[in-house]
C-alpha cells in the first residue's frame, strides 16, 4: 500500500480511479505527494478539476489544515495496510436485470470481474472483483448497485 511505499523515500503519486476530492484526500493522508485523475475527467470533462480543487480546499480548511503539505501523511501513524481490510473490498456489485439496458459498458472491467449472461445482464466474479464500484459509476441506467459481500464471497476476495 501507499503507506508502506512512503518509507522508501521516493515521491509517491496516488492513482487508480479517485472519483472525488475525498478519494484524493485519502491518497494524500497516506503520504502520496500528488494524485492523478483520469476516469473522472473522462466521465465529466476537464471542468471537474476545479470542483476537485475547491472540494479539497474546503475540506482542509474545515479540518484545520493550513496547506496540502501539512495534510500529506497525516494518517501514517495507523494506516490500514492490508487490502482485505479496506472497505471497498468488502462490497460487490449487483445488477438489477429490470433496469439493465444491456449496453455492456460495465463489462469493460480492468479486473475481468464482469461477464454478461445470455440475456446481456452482468454477472460479477467475487474472486476477481475488488469492489472499486467503477462498474456502478459507469452504469447510465443505474442498474448496478454495490452491496455487502456474503460470507462465501468474502472468502474468495482477491488479495
Q: Identify the pLDDT of residue 22.
A: 92
Distance CA 66, CA 81 (A): 27
Domains of the chain and CATH, by start:
2-71 (no CATH), 83-155 (3.30.70.20)
Distance CA 57, CA 59 (A): 5
Lowest-confidence segment of 3-7, 31-35, 63-67, 122-126 by average pLDDT: 3-7
| Distances from the Cα of 96 to the Cα of 13, 30, 119, 150, 156, angstroms | 36, 36, 12, 18, 23
CA 102, 37, 153, 145 torsion: positive or negative? negative
Rounded to two decimals, what is the model's pTM? 0.51
Check pLDDT > 60 for residue 73. Answer: yes
Q: Identify the pLDDT of residue 114.
A: 96
Q: Identify the pLDDT of residue 43.
A: 85
Q: Identify the pLDDT of residue 80.
A: 56
Q: Identify the pLDDT of residue 148.
A: 93
Q: What is the pLDDT of residues 76-127, one digit of tens each?
A: 766 655 555 556 678 999 999 999 999 999 998 888 999 999 999 999 999 9
Segment 35-60 shows an average pLDDT of 92
Segment 54-64 shows an average pLDDT of 94
Q: Identify the pLDDT of residue 42.
A: 86
Reading the block at residue 132, the C-alpha cell is 472499486
Mean confidence (pLDDT) of the chain: 87
Segment 32-59 shows an average pLDDT of 92
Alpha carbons within 13 angstroms on the beta-carbon side of residue 23 total 19
With beta carbons less than 8 A apart as the criterion, state whether 94 and 115 touch: no
With cell 459509476, the residue in question is 137
Amino acid at each position: 500500500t501507499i503507506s508502506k511505499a512512503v518509507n522508501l523515500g521516493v515521491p509517491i503519486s496516488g492513482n487508480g480511479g479517485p472519483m472525488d476530492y475525498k478519494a484524493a484526500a485519502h491518497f494524500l493522508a497516506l503520504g502520496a505527494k500528488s494524485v492523478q485523475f483520469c476516469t473522472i475527467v473522462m466521465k465529466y470533462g476537464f471542468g471537474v478539476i476545479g470542483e476537485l480543487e475547491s472540494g479539497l480546499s474546503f475540506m482542509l480548511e474545515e479540518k484545520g489544515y493550513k496547506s496540502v503539505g501539512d495534510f500529506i501523511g497525516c494518517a501514517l501513524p495507523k494506516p490500514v495496510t492490508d487490502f482485505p481490510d479496506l472497505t471497498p473490498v468488502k462490497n460487490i456489485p449487483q445488477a438489477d436485470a429490470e433496469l439493465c439496458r444491456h449496453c455492456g459498458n460495465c463489462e469493460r472491467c480492468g479486473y475481468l470481474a464482469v461477464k454478461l449472461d445470455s440475456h446481456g445482464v452482468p454477472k460479477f466474479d467475487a474472486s476477481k472483483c475488488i469492489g472499486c464500484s467503477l462498474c456502478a459509476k459507469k452504469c447510465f441506467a443505474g442498474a448496478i448497485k454495490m452491496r455487502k459481500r456474503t460470507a462465501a464471497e468474502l472468502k474468495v476476495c482477491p488479495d
